[in-house]
């Protein structure tokens, strides 16, 4: 799961929720002063490049969320923002697949999101591109059957990458093998069995799969 044919052993998957204002608005217009937050997926939710995810059970409203993914390559705990880049090995393009109908019911009842977010094959990801220097800032896009659904700019994130890593490290001891999905822009919509999904983050890479 790493460029140059190396393998990145996934340890933990953290995900940021409501990290783009336009997506926060489309999901119900939560209070603008509410900061983003974390949820997680199990490590075995990852779908590596070259494999197609299986359409999950128990949903009739599976949504794509295209996201920049941070691959953590060094341990850190309670890391200040200006040191956070030292933990980053590289970046990938990921899709946070979401059972939106189950998530809506969970929100209504104040229940956890595990069944909505942390199911089998819920975390397709591209190869990881090793990276030094300032984090990606460019365009992030996804299309379904060649129709563009999400098209935005990484620079529009509410928490930027160093802030995300620093915030995560307040809550967890980050370690090599951790992945952080950094949130999705507006335009989330449904995918069906057989759909071709193609996403990209400028400078980072591309992801392509068919829902099977």
Residue 98 or 169 with smaller CB distance to Mn ion: 98
What is the rounded distance in angstroms from the CA atom of residue 137 to the CA atom of residue 141?
13
- Cα of 192 vs its chain's centroid, Å: 20
What is the per-residue binding string for Mn ion in 80-109, x denoting contact by CB under 5 A? ----------------x-------------
Shortest distance in whole angstroms from residue 182 CB to Mn ion: 9
Q: Verify binding: residue 150, Mn ion, rule CB under 5 A.
A: no
Shortest distance in whole angstroms from residue 88 CB to Mn ion: 19
Size of the site for Mn ion (CB under 5 A): 3
Residue 96 or 167 with smaller CB distance to Mn ion: 96
Residue 14 or 128 with smaller CB distance to Mn ion: 14
Residues contacting 52, CB < 8 A, separation 6+: 209, 210, 211, 212
Nearest CA to 138 among 154, 150, 151?
154
CA distances for 104 relative to 48, 55, 60, 64, 117, angstroms: 28, 19, 12, 15, 12
Q: Verify binding: residue 65, Mn ion, rule CB under 5 A.
A: yes
Stretch that binds Mn ion, among 6-14, 64-72, 131-139, 163-171 (CB under 5 A): 64-72
Footprint of Mn ion on residues 157-186 (CB under 5 A)?
184
DSSP state of 157: B
What is the rounded distance in angstroms from the CA atom of residue 54 to the CA atom of residue 77?
35
Residue 73 or 94 with smaller CB distance to Mn ion: 94
Q: Which residues bind Mn ion (CB under 5 A)?
A: 65, 96, 184
């Amino acid at each position: 799961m790493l460029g140059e044919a190396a393998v990145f052993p996934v340890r933990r998957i953290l995900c940021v929720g409501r990290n783009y204002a336009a997506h926060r608005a489309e999901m119900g217009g939560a209070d603008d002063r509410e900061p983003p937050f974390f949820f997680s997926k199990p490590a075995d939710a990852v779908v590596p490049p070259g494999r197609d995810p299986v359409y999950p059970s128990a949903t009739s409203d599976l949504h794509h969320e295209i996201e920049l993914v941070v691959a953590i390559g060094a341990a850190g705990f309670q890391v200040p923002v200006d040191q956070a880049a030292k933990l980053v090995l590289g970046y990938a393009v990921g899709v946070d697949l979401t059972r939106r109908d189950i998530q809506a019911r969970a929100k209504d009842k104040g229940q956890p999101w595990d069944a909505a977010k942390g199911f089998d094959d819920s975390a397709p990801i591209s190869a990881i591109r090793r990276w030094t220097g300032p984090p990606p800032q460019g365009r992030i896009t996804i299309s379904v059957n060649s129709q563009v659904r999400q098209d935005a700019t990484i620079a529009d994130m509410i928490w930027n990458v160093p802030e995300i890593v620093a915030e995560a490290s307040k809550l967890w001891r980050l370690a090599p093998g951790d992945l952080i999905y950094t949130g999705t822009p507006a335009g989330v919509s449904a995918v069906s069995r057989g759909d071709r999904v193609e996403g990209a983050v400028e400078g980072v890479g591309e992801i392509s799969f068919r829902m099977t």
